[in-house]
Chain A
Amino acid sequence: MKMAKIRCILISLFVIMPGKTPLAQNELPGLTQSGQYQQGILGSISQPGPIRYSPDTIYLVGTYPLNTPELIRGEGLEITQTYCRFCHSTTYISMQPQLSASAWHTIVDKMIHTHGAPIPEEEAKQIIAYLQAQYAQKDHK
């Protein structure tokens, strides 16, 4: 009821008052659209305040914000999260472009053999299967 009331007042405000079109033509020539706002997808972002100085010789900036996108749901997600967010966030997975299935295999091998990720063979297989299903070409959303 209340909504309907507000709506009709708005109609009178924006539509009826200036005549047939929302904007009077001769007053503001060429103006095709104005006064439009929307609760938007383009968001706001907080500003950092000034750094709180410590009185001594320590130069500090505080903690760094995490902004880790969620990984795609699917079989093997949990095990992937267990092993693949130790040295870096899983943003390293979600930021990749469409890679081939074999590229994901190579990446997991590299994490284990070159970077020393302690991942048992069976788990590694499941992680590779997950990454290939969710983050390789074709299946990539």
Chain B
Amino acid sequence: MTEDTSKTISRRFLLKIMSGGIAGLGFTQLNSAWAQISGQAVQLLPSLTGPNRNPYWNSTGPFVVYPQKLPLIQITDRPVQLETPRHYFLTPFTPNAAFFVRWHLDKIPNAINLSEWRLFVEGNVERPLILSLNDLMKKFKQVSVTAVNQCSGNSRSRFQPHIPGGQWGNGAMGNATMKGVRLKDVLDAARIKSGSLQVQCEGLDRGRGPKDKGSYRYQKSLYLNDPILHEVVIAYEMNGAPLPILNGFPVRLVVPGKFATYWIKALTWIRIITEPDTNFWMTKAYCIPDTPHGNTTPEDMERKQIKQIPIGTMPVRSFLITPDGSDMIPLAMPLTLQGIAFSGHGQIVKVEFSDDNGITWHQAKLGKNYGRYSFRTWKAAWIPKHTGKYTLTVRATDEKGNTQADEGIWNPGGYLWNKIERQEVVIGVSE
């Protein structure tokens, strides 16, 4: 058979191609001009981003699949740390199956027997309690709160110089309605004795280090006189469903407005203590410089002039979710910019966007209000007026007047990042 014959396909050939598949035939090499555009335009993300900050919205790891989860982005595999892809932040509530995961120690629950599991309330109390999940659901008043859960190290991959630890992009956050009982109600039932200082929380996770080290157990404490204590919830429901095991089934602590480090998963011990908790996770990890915005420099840290304090409330942040730069946008197409904003300090009152890299700002329309601790969605109509690149930026302001700065910060933990976000989009010709 020669090149210019046979315009019809023989039955024999069809059978062959169907049984063998066409993938291995290499027909993309048929025509050189064609071959130039026929490779996969979408490449793999490079896994390392060199000495520079991670330029992508999310971290650069592969998608991985875990029980009860949609494909999420791997940070680490043992213990499990998974990041939520950008796309899931189009809605005010982050689906449980897409909610980020962050454990510190590698022995995390695979199975929990609810006939044996109990929540222990102990320490400096008059009536220690041992509560089953059913006790929690039946014996206490049910409350619910919609709150953002954000890892202290969210966006750590932005810091320069680089900071060791999980190289999170922006997806170590999520928003959910958490239903359960008030921590205060449980503590009242246990009757805290005088001389008490903090409430310490601990979950079922354990590490393989020595028993007196942070590599063995993860504990976090809150001061009993912290006003947030009135709003802390022991939650057994997340967005109307049981919590995924990776997010803390059967119950997790919810500390609205504060970083996720306090939101103990698989919460099992609540301990009233009379001395400040000095364990590794309180005094070495999750501490920030006691400076404005937790900002310092490697040089100042070296000189050890900087006092460090436990991290607390989340600074105001806002994100553009779409357009995300993955498509070229035709000139003059009327688009809707969409995103979210939140602040641990109070209600979001304003979201502004700019299409000239932050020189002029325009107000966006805020979505439904689900409470002061929730994501607030925002939208803005936008029409690109020239071809080429635009740099879209977004910033939010909360009810206390906090807003986002355009200078990055630095601290040794890689915490509190809330610099104004930028997204480059490319506008193509439409005529």
Contacts and interface: CB of A to CB of B under 8 A. Distances in A.
Interface of A: 3, 5-17, 22, 32-33, 36-42, 45-48, 51, 56-69, 86-89, 91-92, 95-100, 103, 107, 114-117, 137, 140-141
Contact of A6 (B17, B65, B108): B17
B276 interface: no
B78 A91 contact: yes
Q: What secondary structure prevails in chain B residues at the interface with A? A: loop
Nearest to B49: A97
11 contacts: A8-B6, A12-B4, A15-B30, A42-B40, A42-B42, A61-B246, A67-B77, A88-B106, A89-B78, A114-B213, A140-B48
A36 B38 contact: yes
Given A45-B63, A99-B162, A39 B106 contact: no
Interface of B: 1-7, 9, 13, 16-17, 22-28, 30-31, 34, 37-40, 42-44, 47-51, 54, 61-69, 71, 74-80, 105-106, 108, 110-116, 157, 161-162, 164, 166-167, 207-210, 213-215, 245-246, 249-250, 280, 284
A57 B117 CA distance: 10
Contacts of A66: 77-78
A115 B105 CA distance: 11
Nearest to A59: B112
A17 B8 CA distance: 10
Nearest to A49: B67
Contacts of B38: 33, 36, 38
A87 B208 contact: yes
Contacts of A61: 67-68, 110-111, 245-246
A45 B71 contact: yes
Contact of A39 (B24, B34, B61, B157): B24
Contact of B67 (A5, A14, A58, A62): A62
Contacts of A32: 37
B280 A114 contact: yes
A92 B110 CA distance: 21
A9 B34 contact: no
Contacts of B77: 64-68, 89, 91
A46 B110 CA distance: 20
Select the residue from A8, A61, A103 with max chain B CB neighbours within 10 A.
Answer: A61
Contacts of B16: 6
Nearest to B115: A57
Given A97-B157, A115-B213, 9 more contacts: A9-B6, A10-B27, A32-B37, A48-B67, A48-B69, A58-B113, A60-B110, A61-B67, A114-B214
A65 B17 contact: no
Given A8-B2, A116-B210, A38 B23 contact: yes
Select the residue from B17, B77, B167 with max chain A CB neighbours within 10 A.
Answer: B77
Contacts of A89: 76-78, 106
A18 to B, nearest CB: 11
B417 to A, nearest CB: 15
Contact of A67 (B26, B74, B112, B167): B74
A117 B9 CA distance: 67
B135 to A, nearest CB: 15
A89 B284 CA distance: 22
A37 B288 CA distance: 50
Given A8-B2, A58-B112, A67-B77, A114 B284 contact: yes
Contacts of A103: 164
A22 B43 CA distance: 25
Nearest to B24: A39
B238 to A, nearest CB: 14
Select the residue from A47, A56, A69, A97 with max chain B CB neighbours within 10 A.
Answer: A97
Nearest to B106: A88
B30 A11 contact: yes
B13 A64 contact: no
A88 B164 CA distance: 15
Nearest to A38: B40
A64 B1 contact: no
Given A36-B28, A68-B78, A60 B65 contact: no
Nearest to B214: A115
A87 B106 contact: yes
Given A46-B65, A59-B112, A62-B110, A6 B75 contact: no
Nearest to A96: B164
Select the residue from A9, A38, A41, A68 with max chain B CB neighbours within 10 A.
Answer: A9
Contact of B3 (A11, A95, A137): A11
A67 B64 contact: yes
